[in-house]
Amino acid sequence: AMMMDKETMIKAGAGGKGTPAYSMFNGGIYDDKAVSSEYGYEFDPDTAYQMLQEEGFDFDRTYVACINDLPVRQAMMTVMQETWAKYGMKLEIQTLDTQTCIATMREGGCDFWINGTSSADRTFLWTGFLDWVSIDADGNYAPFNLSKISDPKLMELAQGMTSAITEEDLLSVTSEIQKVLLTDYNYIFMITPNINCAVSNRLKGVDKDQMLAMTLNYCDWEVTA
């Protein structure tokens, strides 16, 4: 995570329009600044390199990252590749279509994948996120648990949001999720774009599932008084 030059990634891939992200709640009302202040990190490749040496990182191996052809992801991965190269670390970039990336990750054929995510419906914060962290009682991974994370900690915390009675309860759970994301590093959040989504009770015909997939069915929307 400390090897990620997010500011340069934003300049290279998003025209400078974005901010570094550190959790799924980045910049929103559930973004606990106290947690990010205590457990967060900055771009510090020298320290990261020293830590990797101490942990026995294999510098002889070439690591593989797959991305689709979105220019922002290609630019971000190129920045990552250039940062690694300064420390003798080898990163190969494979540009594949999204479905092939998913299949490659599922089969363990690459080490990294940059993917986009969205949580447009803030009334159901856990929707979509569980798909990335869940594992059932039989040990089967959810469709997009592509890192094959078997630790149920994040899943249980995300499910805990459904039982939160008050806003204070919800904030307590989301703060704990941020702490886990900033200490376990199952997923490294990269950047958040300069985009705002709003869901209003005046809007009818909004397909929230499509919104979570970053697809908006504008033509079906109706506005009521």
Q: Which residue has the higher pLDDT, 50 or 201?
A: 50
Q: What is the pLDDT of residues 106-147, one digit of tens each?
A: 899 999 998 876 554 445 555 567 777 888 878 888 888 888
pLDDT band at 208 (very low <50, low <70, confident <90, very high): low
203: helix, strand or coil: strand
Q: What is the pLDDT of residues 47-74, one digit of tens each?
A: 999 999 999 999 999 999 999 888 889 9
User: In the numeric block, which tokens belong to residue 24?
Assistant: 């799924």
User: In the numeric block, which tokens belong to residue 86?
Assistant: 């300064």
According to the model, what pLDDT value does residue 4 have? 95
Q: State yes or no: pLDDT of 42 exceeds 90.
A: yes
Q: What is the pLDDT of residues 2-36, one digit of tens each?
A: 999 999 999 998 888 888 988 888 877 888 999 99
Residue with structure tokens 């220019």? 71
Question: What is the pLDDT of the chain when averaged over all its residues?
Answer: 85
pLDDT band at 198 (very low <50, low <70, confident <90, very high): low
According to the model, what pLDDT value does residue 191 have? 87
- Look at residues 94, 82, 93, 92 and name the one whose alpha carbon lies nearest to residue 45: 82
Residues 24 and 35: beta-carbon distance below 8 Å: no
Q: State yes or no: pLDDT of 207 exceeds 80.
A: no
Task: Read off the DSSP letter of residue 142.
Answer: P
Phi-psi region of 88 (alpha: psi -120 to 50; beta: other; left: phi over 0): left
Residue with structure tokens 């798909």? 131
